[in-house]
Amino acid sequence: MLRFTKRADYGLMAIHYIAIHDDLGAVSAKRISEQFAIPQELLAKILQRLAKQRLIVSHNGPKGGYVLTRRPAEISLGEVIRALEGPINIVSCLEDSSDCPQMERCSLRRPVKKIQAAITQLLDTMSLAELTSDDVPEILSIGSRGPDRVQGERTAPLGGSTSR
């Protein structure tokens, strides 16, 4: 099952919280920790990684905390995930340093590269602003209805219609 690590999940929750509360100024780590029940030590490490990659900046003092360094529309989810986890790879054999013993015989490497590219493209084109808006994009379905599916066609949200 493909899923975010706990660090990536908590990091996305934290930076999203900072983004939606930017009108209140800096958001403290304590406030984020309490809001999501994230251990403070783990959250501190996550926020350090985000700050090291210049996605957020910390402000000291009694009203201190964290703020975004850019507008939410200018920060991609791919940037956030890479800041927290490094390169986005769904399997280790796609890494340059891979020494997989199946490399020569593997028939899945090419199709997995396509999946990898689609995931990377989605994360790199979805901005933090899209998460903060009420208009969250509908779930993408790649080829879910077979070859007759029209490129760019939108799928219906749960309980909804595809009317535009």
Domain ranges for the chain: 6-132
What global pTM score does this model have?
0.75
Structure tokens given for 155: 């799928």
Q: What is the pLDDT of residue 47?
A: 97
Q: What is the pLDDT of residue 139?
A: 54
Rounded to whole angstroms, the Cα distance separating 116 from 110 reads 10
Residue 150 pLDDT > 50, yes or no?
A: no
Three-class DSSP category at 42: helix
pLDDT, tens digit, 9 for 90 and up, residues 33-78: 999 999 999 999 999 999 999 999 999 988 899 999 999 999 999 9
Top pLDDT among 60 and 1 is at: 60
Rounded to whole angstroms, the Cα distance separating 122 from 127 reads 10
Residue 136 pLDDT > 70, yes or no?
A: no
Rounded to whole angstroms, the Cα distance separating 82 from 77 reads 9
Quote the radius of gyration of the chain (alpha carbons, Å).
Answer: 19
Give me the CATH code for the 6-132 domain, please: 1.10.10.10
Closest CA to 18 of 92, 70, 87, 53: 70
